Amino acid sequence: MKESIQSATTAQRIHPFVEIMDSTLRDGEQTSGVSFLPHEKLMIARMLLRDLNVDRIEVASARVSDGEKEAVKMICRYARQIGCLDSVEVLGFVDGHTSVDWLTDAGACTLNLLAKGSLRHCREQLHKSPEEHLSDIKAVVDYACSKGITVNMYLEDWSSGMKDSPEYVYQLMDALTALPVRRFMLPDTLGIMNPLQVIEYFRKMLKRYPQAHFDFHAHNDYDLAVSNSLAAALSGARGLHVTVNGLGERCGNAPLSSVQVILKDQFNAKTSINEEKMMAVSRLVESYSGISIAPNQPIIGDNVFTQVAGIHADGDQKGGLYHNPLVPERFGRKREYAMGKNSGRANITRNLKELGLELTPEQTQRVTRRITELGDRKEVVTQDDLPFIVNDVLKHDVTEDKVKLVSYQVSLAYGLKPLANVKVEINGQQYEGHSSGDGQYDAFVKALRKIYKEYLGRTFPLLENYAVTIPPGGRTDALVQTVITWQMDDGRLQRTRGLDADQTEAAIKATIKMLNIIEA
């Protein structure tokens, strides 16, 4: 362990360029309850390769299902069109010709071969000797090469192998380095390592095999996946495996966003990642996986660029005193100033200024008191609520509604699409529209879209995200909060919130609030 500490403090061997391999579509799909449809896999793969610019993507495990093969075929067709088929990888097994034939039929050309990286796995799972396992591996590699397939090698349970049976690992590597294997991928399969162990074991591997290309694959069971990944990079790993939003089996894998920014900011390492697209990829995967991102998740969480304390807002106005290198614009986001009982006048003044509302100091103080009262009741106050609070507190027409919902009717019948009839008043003129939709709210929005297109000749913002929060306890009369994120014509995102006992009604309130923001 003493040698590990010395390595950590003196041997800064980080490569000038670190490959990022994203395994969201393979290891990330092993998250409990997550299963991507073929077209969803294609959409995620397109964004990872084209927009985020990751170096490699691992998209599936061989032999899983016909649906999995269809997804790989679709991804490979797309990757071939844009000239990056080599970046698409598929996990395969030591199973003779089966995995290689599966890859060939799917159109893939890179096999990530899963070998046993610990003696215990070799003997107890395969019931084979190291020599027998090596013979089987060699047969698969030879066959893959004959089919024009590039081979990378996973040493499954490598972390346990280095702890309990290092001589087995070296015996395996001595033989494998003589084979045409492009990369050796060293996984902490059980998530049991700490950064000092990563440094120690990587130092030993690189000392014995200095010409080998090593990747590191972390799991987050001890919440050390990011730390271990960075320790591997510092110790000479040339590639790191990540997943979008940290998806993965059990506690997940190393989150792509966190690994990327620490590599760049803390160690000056170079990657190919386009940071401005990380948020878009994150939201796409969140939508398809159904796994919500924690609000305080670094880089991609809703709250990470939101200041709440009034002293922070005051400091930001005086030279950005509370800013760090993680500026939101770097990731296609913007800094926000949330309002609550800790906000203070500076925070609220900042929000008023962004909205173009100019109040006297006495008026601002009255608004601040009202927001503090709401915060004491645990109510959420957003910038979008601020004009309505100002209107309520000051009792004047600062935010007179220019869009009013006159009436609406939504109907739902078994075997038929929901229908909506809507009448709205826009700038004093009433309009009526009707439409069907995939749900009651969808029908309502489509009716509004028709009104804006047919009567006003205007576009209607795109619905970017839709989140519903229901208080715990199971009461059927509990209030439902619906937060809708809209993409406006100028590309910016606008969030509005509605609160009601009925989910559809809450969403409708959020929609009318959005339309009033546009008209204002």
Give the pairing of strands 150-156 and 110-116.
parallel
Residue 328, both tokens = 């939101």
Could you list the active site residues?
26, 156
Q: Are 172 and 109 in contact (CB under 8 A)?
A: no
Instruction: Name 495's Cβ contacts closer than 8 Å, sequence gap at least 6.
Output: 382, 384, 483, 484, 485, 486
Residue 236, both tokens = 């000479």
Residue 195, both tokens = 């950064």
Residues 298 and 333: their CA atoms lie apart, in Å, by 13
What's the one-letter identity of residue 70?
E
Residue 437, both tokens = 């939709």
Residues 34 and 132: their CA atoms lie apart, in Å, by 36
Residues 103 and 27: their CA atoms lie apart, in Å, by 17
Residues 434 and 407: their CA atoms lie apart, in Å, by 12
Comparing CA positions, the residue from 136, 134, 94 lying closest to residue 112 is 94
Comparing CA positions, the residue from 197, 230, 193 lying closest to residue 13 is 230
DSSP codes, 253-294 = B-BHHHHHHHHHHHH--B----GGGHHHHHHHHHHHH--PPP
Buried b (16+ CB within 10 A) or exposed e, 319-332: eeeeeeeeebeebe
With 0-12 / 13-18 / 19 or more C-beta atoms within 10 angstroms meaning exposed / middle / buried, residue 127 is exposed
DSSP helix/strand/coil, 227: helix
Comparing CA positions, the residue from 291, 228, 295 lying closest to residue 29 is 291
CB atoms under 10 Å from CB of 512, counted, come to 17
Tell me how far the alpha carbon of residue 474 is from its chain's centroid: 30
Quote the Cα angle for 23-244-471, to 5°.
Answer: 135
Buried b (16+ CB within 10 A) or exposed e, 168-185: bbbebbebbeeeebebbb
Residue 191, both tokens = 């998530």
Comparing CA positions, the residue from 112, 108, 111, 103 lying closest to residue 84 is 108
CB atoms under 10 Å from CB of 285, counted, come to 27
